[in-house]
Structure 1
């Protein structure tokens, strides 16, 4: 079989999201996180990392007129474009970001992930009825490493994130400060920086992703939300201490998929045949098959999706490096068959997916450039 595209940015050479937070922490003097080939950032005493959920690099390139401040950072020599890894979805990317490892190591392999212990899939965002998050993802996080080495480490986000399954699995370490609005999160960030001479602050904002899902990433509502974010980030940057570096990134991009291009497994018996459990997400479906059914499932999905998707076995996906290095405990979580969409198509299942999910306009999860490419925008500290 011919080689399949590896998630990332061919030719960009700047790597994936897993190296961003370790590199920032290293610039603050945290030891033990750097790897050969990592970027070397200018030293700083304090750093802020802002993650704007859904701010893909291609979206920013096309719609940057709504974000003059953020766009001004794109042209800085320190700013680069990364790949978020695969699948290009929030739960996976948050663990990639927080642990400095790709999905095959941290084990959060999708929006919905198959738990071999129960034989069913659970939602890694809500973590409802999920396993112990620290056992599911046992690797230490970058936040834990920074905090252990004396860096004031603070995570700023919505209150319901504090102690959630995803947070405990992917982003644990330091302390959490809850704030609802983006302006309040900026205020909290600045308060922490003013109170501590050595600090790492992580600020999360998720509304751009929400707007994109509901209205589409090409909608006027998406542009309006980006304008609000840009204003808040401009204020943050203008108020930072001179020894503080600013980093802005994302967890994935997004594409709009017309509803007439959606396949519903409830009405696709040929695609549902031989499938015991469906995981992943509509743009990157992971199929756990009944015994002996993999060849038939693979053939049926390849025939039905044609050039609109790449459909491979687990072994092919792992060999192609889609999930990065894959630990033995993680391999069974990946579908026996992985179908990742390359065209404007998606696959859902109205028998199990909520109507709200079925109605979404903007989607992500696959390995297309629009979904995988993310910015790493840098404003270095003026002095350390």
Structure 2
């Protein structure tokens, strides 16, 4: 990566997620209210988000399309005629993901109704203080009990306990995975083949089978396409077209009176290879750093005792003009994670480097070659990454 100019960590304030209004943490409490199951704020599921109001319905079907950011969807709307018409003719809102803008964190917001500081899934790779080792919260590659890591009751569990059945439709290997158990537990799981048609079939059948309740559907191929080929690629446009056709088909097959919702967990930006700073060639940036976690666009640094101020200065100088560098205390005080529970504090990096330009930080000494080749990236707080659509249709 071309070296950014020297300087300090100062920079314009980054947007702070407005937890309690129009974020992903507010969506499931609104779904619960739509189904006549208001949350009381006990057990973990937040009763906030009262500003997000959805139509009352006996049945709700929520489709989450991984990686379908609002900005990219608007720019590539020629590939999505059904969603384009929906945007023009029906209710459409823009939600924000939390921080960082990554799947594990967003699934925590969605499933629990809590901000990251409450649910504790505060990044892609974060420190497990008990082991002094990083935990990849997508792969769940450490001996960590997900129900202890995220102990709060999920909204799915609240709904099921209140007599509103929940069905979760996703790839079979999601059933019982660490992330599912931490963030999305509750109700019945239906695994389907990795085909959109199969996902639509299972969703329609689940909605029709229950006179009341929630059907949650996950689709991840758009995200994988963006990572591999870029959100600006023709491949991403083609996959978006398939998603759009599936939404149209689902809307035709759901029973009358069903509330259909379509949203996403984050957006994405393309980062060219020359704009990726490789820590393998940056010894000054490794000084005082014990672990490098987070993600390439929202790096979380776990430092040696007492080294955080010096690490923040070095990273701020090196990334001046392309990133905002600040300490954990500054990020928490700014509200990026919402209120932070004591058990979560140590999982957050001592120093955070959040990209503001089209750059990323990688480490070829430990990342797999296929990871180093990824084009689409997310994690930071640009509009491309943090804004997600919410389409609403009472069929």
Matched, 1:366 2:373: no
Q: 1:6 aligns with which of 5, 15, 31?
A: 15
For the residue of structure 1 that corresponds to 2:315, the secondary structure is: helix
Within 5 Å, give how 1:170-189 maps onto structure 2.
170-180=183-193, 181-189=195-203
Partner of 2:261, secondary structure, is strand
Deviation per CA, 1:128-157, whole angstroms, max 9, x where unpaired?
Answer: 124100000011111001111111200000
Partner of 1:311: 325
Alignment RMSD: 1.6
Encode CA deviations 1:68-114: one digit per residue, 9 max, x unaligned: 11122223453200101110000110111100011111000111011
CA distance in 2, matches of 1:273, 1:346: 19
Provide closer, same or farther for how the CA distance between residues 292 and 160 of structure 1 changes in structure 2, counting only shifts above 3 A.
Answer: same
Match of 1:58 in 2: 71
Residue 307 (structure 2) pairs with residue 293 (structure 1): yes
Contact 2:126 2:134 in 1 (8 A): yes
Runs of 4+ in 1 over 4 A off after TM superposition: none
* 1:104-119 equivalence runs, <5 A: 104-119=117-132
Matched, 1:28 2:24: no
Select between 363-372 and 188-197 the one with higher mean Cα deviation.
188-197
Is the Cα contact below 8 Å between 2:29 and 2:49 reproduced in 1? no
The count of aligned residue pairs is 379
Encode CA deviations 1:282-311: one digit per residue, 9 max, x unaligned: 000000000111111011100000110000
- Alignment equivalent of 1:259, drawn from 252, 273, 296: 273
Paired with 2:12 and 2:21, the residues of 1 have a C-alpha distance of: 22
Among 337, 343, 348, the residue aligned to 1:323: 337
Q: Could you tell me whether the CA contact under 8 Å between 2:262 and 2:389 is conserved in 1?
A: yes
Q: Distance in 1 between matches of 2:140 and 2:113?
A: 21
Match of 1:222 in 2: 236
Query: Does 2:158 align with 1:151?
Result: no
Task: List per-residue Cα deviations over 1:161-180 (Å, max 9, x = no partner).
Answer: 00000000000000100001
Could you say what secondary structure the match of 2:118 adopts?
A: helix
Unaligned runs of at least 5 residues, structure 1: none
State which of 224, 229, 238 in structure 1 corresponds to 2:252.
238
Normalization by structure 2: what TM-score? 0.93
Distance 1:114 1:91 in 2: 14
For residues 21 and 88 of structure 2, what CA distance do their matches in structure 1 show? 15
Rate the CA distance shift 1:14–1:69 in 2: closer, same or farther, 3 A.
farther
In structure 1, distance between residues paired with 2:260 and 2:50? 22
The C-alpha deviation readout for 1:180-199, integer Å capped at 9, x for no partner, is 11111111111112111002
Question: Relative to 1, partners in 2 of residues 1:224 and 1:77: Cα closer, same or farther, differing over 3 Å?
Answer: closer
Cα distance in 2 for residues equivalent to 1:24 and 1:37 = 11
